[in-house]
Amino acid sequence: MDILISNWSNVEFVPKTYIFPPESRPGKLEFPICNDIPLIDLAHNNSDETIQQVIRACQEFGFFQVINHGISENLMDDTMNIYNELFKLPSEYKAKFYSNDTNKSCKIFSSTLAYDTEEVHYWRDTFTHRCNPLEEHIPSWPDKPTNYREVVSEYSIETRKLLNKILDMICKGLGLNLGYFEGELSKAHLISVNHHIPCPNPSLTLGMPAHSDPNLITMLQQGEVPGLQILKDGKWIGVKHIPHTLIIIPGLQLKVISNDRFITPVHRVVTHPKEARTTIGVFLVPSPEFLIKPATTLIQTVPVFRDFTYPEFLETFVDRRPGKIKFPVCHDIPLIDLANNHPNDAIQQVIKACQEFGIFQVINHGVCENLMDDTMNIYKEFFKLPSEYKAKFYSNDINKSCRLCSSTLAYDTEEFHYWRDNFTHHCYPLEEYIMTWPNKPTKYREVVSEYSIETRKLLYKILDMICKGLGLEKGYFEGELSKTNVISVNHHIPCPNPSLTLGMPVHSDPNLITLLQQCNVPGLQILKDGKWIGVQPIPHAIVVIPGLQLKLS
Ligand SMILES: O=C(O)CCC(=O)C(=O)O
Ligand SMILES: [Fe+2]
Q: What is the domain partition of the chain in residue ranges? A: 26-318, 329-552
Q: Looking at the CA of 282, which ligand is closest? A: 1
Does any ligand 1 atom lie closer than 6 A to the CB of residue 280? no
Ligand 1 contact via 252 beta carbon (within 6 Å): no
Q: Which CATH number fits domain 329-552: 2.60.120.1140, 2.60.120.10, 2.60.120.330, 1.10.3720.10?
A: 2.60.120.330
Among 126, 268, 124, 267, CA closest to 196: 124
Minimal-distance CA residue to ligand 1 atom 9: 281
Average pLDDT for 379-401: 94
- Check residues 159 and 527 and name the one with the higher pLDDT: 159
CA distance 239 to 246: 12
53 has pLDDT over 70: yes
Ligand 1 mean position to 449 CA, how many Å? 54
Distance 211 CA to ligand 2 centre (A): 6
Among 140-144, 294-298, 529-533, which stretch is predicted with the lowest mean pLDDT? 529-533
The residue whose C-alpha atom lies closest to atom 1 belonging to ligand 1 is 279
Nearest CA to ligand 1 atom 10: 213
**pLDDT > 70 fraction of the chain, expressed in percent and rounded:** 97
Tell if the pTM clears 0.95, that is, is over it: no
Q: Which of 426, 433, 440, 425 has the alpha carbon at shortest distance from 390?
A: 440
Q: If pLDDT is split at 50, 70 and 90, which confidence band does 493 have?
A: very high
In this prediction, residue 320 carries a pLDDT of 47
- The closest ligand to the CA of 212 turns out to be 2
Higher pLDDT, 212 or 6: 6
* pLDDT over 60 (residue 326): no
Q: CB of 6 closer than 6 A to ligand 1?
A: no
Residue 531 CA, ligand 2 centroid: distance in Å: 27
Q: Which atom of ligand 1 is nearest to the CA of 213?
A: 10
> From ligand 1's centre to the CA of 322, what distance in Å?
25
pLDDT of 153 above 90:
yes
Question: Please, what CATH class does the domain formed by 26-318 belong to?
Answer: mainly beta
DSSP 3-state of 210: strand
Q: Which of 220, 239, 253, 271 to mutate to test the pocket of ligand 1 (most atoms within 8 A of CB)?
A: 220
Predicted pLDDT at 322: 53
Number of H helices, E strands in the chain: 13, 23
* Residue of higher predicted confidence among 48 and 118: 48
Residue 207's Cβ-side half-sphere holds a number of Cα atoms within 13 Å equal to: 29
Q: Which residues of 432-447 are buried (b: 16+ CB within 10 A; e: fewer)?
A: ebbeebbeebeebbeb
Q: Is the CB of residue 248 below 6 angstroms from any atom belonging to ligand 1? A: no
How far is 221 from 204, CA to CA, in rounded Å? Answer: 26
Comparing 60-69, 93-102, 329-338, 394-403, the range with the smallest average pLDDT is: 329-338
269 lines ligand 1 (CB under 6 A): yes
Burial category of 541 from C-beta neighbours within 10 Å (exposed 0-12, middle 13-18, buried 19 and up): buried
